[in-house]
Amino acid sequence: MNKQRLSALWVAGTLAFALLSMLVPLPGVLQPFKPYWPALVLIYWALESNDRVSLGLAFVVGLAADLLDGLLLGEQALRLCAIVFIVLRFRSRLRFFPMWQQTLAVMALLVNDRILLLIVRVFAGDALPPPSWWISPFVGAALWPFVFLLLDDLRMRLRIQQQ
């Protein structure tokens, strides 16, 4: 029981940290390179602990991110729901991909997320973003192996069992 609570806390902590990382202001030049941290962490947890991460959790995390980000309530909830749904649907296959394939899959997920965001923005009546806007998913994919290994390593050290 205690172990479970600890692992739940750990998951919540990483998600909160991801939200915080999303908010960290970067110099204007680096801003387009900022990866979508909540998505990366959520993908990890969706892959590694399947029944803890659900669409509901993704929705709540997205709402929190929207509240913090202050752009459009529900936007990130929609995006994270879509990502988590795809990951959960292909979870069994994604888990046994070698790292490079997994990275490619994550890149496809993030690009898909960008397209979704673009559709939402266009419907909301925003202008088309600059080309640098498309860099972020590739940065996120490039960081994926490190995020994965780091979180995996920490999880092993904390001896959190996957539920």
Residues that bind other proteins (CB under 8 A): 19-21, 23-26, 50-51, 55-56, 58-59, 62-63, 66-68, 70, 72-75, 77-78, 81-82, 85, 88-89, 91-93, 95, 120, 124, 162
Whole-number minimum distance, CB 163 to other proteins, in Å?
Answer: 9
Taking the least distance from each CB to other proteins, the nearer of 104 and 119 is 119
Pick between residue 94 and residue 147 the one whose CB is nearest to other proteins: 94
Closest separation in Å from C-beta 33 to other proteins: 15
How near is the Cβ of 91 to other proteins at its closest, in Å? 5
Q: Residues of 17-41 as b/e, b for ≥16 C-beta within 10 angstroms?
A: ebbeebeeeeeeeeebebbbbbbbb
Distance from C-alpha of 71 to C-alpha of 75, rounded to nearest angstrom = 8
By C-beta, is 59 or 133 nearer to other proteins?
59
**Torsion angles phi and psi, residue 151, rounded to 5:** -65, -35
Task: State how far the Cα of 125 lies from the Cα of 111, in Å rounded to an integer.
Answer: 21
Q: 43 with 83: CB under 8 angstroms? A: yes
